[in-house]
Structure 1
Amino acid sequence: MSAEVFQQDLKGKSPRPGGPFLIQLLFREPVTMPDKERMIAVMERHVGRVECYSHDKKSAGFSTMEHLGEFKEGKVPVQLIVTACESFQGKGFDPFLTSQMWDCMEERDRILEQCQYQVVAVDMLAASLPALERAQLDMDFLEALAELYPTCEGFYFQNCGKLFSGEQVRSHGLQGSDRFIRFGVNARFFNIQDTEDMIVDTVGMSTLFLPDLQYHFHDMDPNWVVGHAYNLASYILENDNPIQSGETVDGITGGRMSQQVQWLCQYEDALVQPPRGVLDVNMGEYASGGR
């Protein structure tokens, strides 16, 4: 893990809760927009029935007829939009963002240096969908994109800051909501300078109007805590966030003692406030015998 020191920018913009889910597809060479008939066929194979309402040199837009967002005016199909190829500058990525691209460390620099072109894909009008339905739709959209653009070298998920190689996306083998946890949620790790304290937090759950997680701990293996965060995020997504403030969740310390512990949960306001804020998870008393 990097020893570089970063200072949190409290004035910086955070992903807007419920905002568009945005994917940047990265390429070494420019690519053309797939033809309309092929795009419709691939999209329908992955996301269900669609209507293509626009297709030109600038973008392609699809209405998902099986995923309807509810608004005051009535039900409206969620839209999936793909832009034309444009230039991409990987050198413009913030060092803090690249430091948290854990899933693609070996290929990160190569992808960001060699890929000079991008296609942007985004969902629109999806915020009113149930969390699990939207998560599944966005990942079905990802599967369609991976098929439509076989030369894509990297997929960058802007909502959570994750970068994956094209091969990682095409060969993941995951099913259901696990796909969103893999690609749409990032568990970040921080050492608190001049202390023994550490923090693991997640980014990306707020896109679904679900709470992101923040763990405060010390004297534990951070890799275990990261794993626990992903498992808890998956549980929250699958069960529509049943955890109440003041409740506890189970875990194992992962250290030499391998003892059962209870993690106390409470909701806190975030800098950008999704419903119920951030779920703050602190290591409480051991379930057997205390500490």
Structure 2
Amino acid sequence: MSNKVFQQNLDDKKGPQPGGPYLIQMLFKEPVPMPDKEKMTAVMGKHIGATECFCYDKKMAGFAALDHIAEFQDGKCPVQLMVMKCDKFKGKGFDAFLLSQMWDCQEDRERIFRECRYQVVATDMLAAALPALERANLDADFLEALAELYPSCEAFYFQNCGKLFLAEDVRSHQIEGQDRFIRFGVNVRFFNIEGTEDMLIDTVGMSTLFLPDLQYHFHDMDPNWVVNHAYNVASYILEHDNPIKDGETIDGVADGQMCREIQWKCQYEDALIQPLRGVLDINMGKYASGGR
């Protein structure tokens, strides 16, 4: 746990934009060449399905995901998956606030930022037009293709949510379906509120799929229980395209497990902690803090 004190800053407009690109930064100790076109096309096809390489040069490679069609008012076209050339990584833009919430890589974080001097950036384009579940699975498939194409990658950083993972944790996971997006594309953050016994847990990353992030403002409950609850609710919202209406209730927590006998009320509010975004605030009944 970090003991650093941060200020609430809802003027910070740097946060991810709803529906914005799913940006993956792969970090390396040494420069890496762009894999050859045939290999990239084969690995993309293996993980994503029908793909077509529409650009390939020293600067970038682009693939059309032919099974994933983005529809717009004036037409439709396949979602594009872009991989940039290897570039220098200076480790800038990672302030103490972001670093404090990299829970999956705490022990290796400083070493990674010290040793990795190169990066390859990959992103989806036009994917905001897809249904949330389809995009979540496509982005997870894309990640798995990248992990195979770049075996010397040391770590993955997910810009939309601020998560950092060792590459081996990305390659060895046993998660299936849309929960892969929740694992890598959604960060559950934890804060102590200074001068009080209150805690705040929220998520970042759901807005990439135009789904609500979650927020819990509470006291006197094990925060790990609340973290697990947040991941479970995020998964439920993604799987069912957010069926939760303002004022409805969801199962609460007893002894660390979700419990039907306890109901927590949900309402849509603005986030208490940056980035500025709408959240689904979950009122934890007798454990709730703050006014709503």
Match of 1:3 in 2: 3
User: Which sits farther off after the overlay, 100-109 or 85-94?
Assistant: 85-94
| TM-score using structure 2 length | 0.93
Contact 2:10 2:275 in 1 (8 A): no
Q: Separation in 2 of the partners of 1:249 and 1:232? A: 9
Secondary structure (helix, strand or coil) at the match of 1:60 reads strand
Secondary structure (helix, strand or coil) at the match of 1:127 reads helix
Deviation at 1:95, TM superposition (A): 0.9
Deviation at 1:74, TM superposition (A): 1.4
For 1:147-162, list aligned pairs within 5 A: 147-162=148-163
Q: Separation in 1 of the partners of 2:275 and 2:130? A: 21
Letter paired with 1:243: I
| 1:23 maps onto 2:24 in alignment | yes
| TM-score using structure 1 length | 0.93
Q: Separation in 2 of the partners of 1:235 and 1:43? A: 28
Match of 1:289 in 2: none
Q: Separation in 1 of the partners of 2:104 and 2:275? A: 26
Match of 2:44 in 1: 43
Q: Separation in 1 of the partners of 2:208 and 2:36? A: 31
Match of 2:85 in 1: 84
Question: Whose relative contact order is higher, 1 or 2, with alpha carbons under 8 Å and at least 6 apart?
Answer: 2
Q: Separation in 2 of the partners of 1:116 and 1:9? A: 30
Contact 2:15 2:276 in 1 (8 A): no
| 1:118 maps onto 2:125 in alignment | no
Letter paired with 1:60: A
Letter paired with 1:78: V
For 1:76-225, list aligned pairs within 5 A: 76-90=77-91, 92-225=93-226
| Partner deviation per Cα, 1:46-85 (whole Å, 9 max, x = no partner) | 0111111110110001111100001011111100000000
Deviation at 1:217, TM superposition (A): 0.7
| 1:278 maps onto 2:274 in alignment | no
| 1:254 maps onto 2:250 in alignment | no
Secondary structure (helix, strand or coil) at the match of 2:107 reads helix
Secondary structure (helix, strand or coil) at the match of 1:111 reads helix
Letter paired with 1:44: G
Secondary structure (helix, strand or coil) at the match of 1:159 reads coil
| 1:237 maps onto 2:241 in alignment | no
| Partner deviation per Cα, 1:100-127 (whole Å, 9 max, x = no partner) | 0001111111111100000000000000
Secondary structure (helix, strand or coil) at the match of 2:106 reads helix
Contact 2:247 2:266 in 1 (8 A): yes
Letter paired with 1:101: M
Letter paired with 1:100: Q
Deviation at 1:260, TM superposition (A): 5.0
Q: Separation in 2 of the partners of 1:100 and 1:202? A: 11
Deviation at 1:285, TM superposition (A): 5.6
Q: Separation in 1 of the partners of 2:252 and 2:238? A: 18
Deviation at 1:86, TM superposition (A): 0.4
Letter paired with 1:132: L
Identity %: 70
Between Structure 1 and Structure 2, how many residues are aligned?
Answer: 282
Deviation at 1:8, TM superposition (A): 2.5
Change (3 A) 1:14 1:91: closer
Contact 2:10 2:276 in 1 (8 A): no
Contact 2:252 2:284 in 1 (8 A): no
Secondary structure (helix, strand or coil) at the match of 1:146 reads helix
| Partner deviation per Cα, 1:10-65 (whole Å, 9 max, x = no partner) | 22221000010000000000000001000000000001111111101100011111
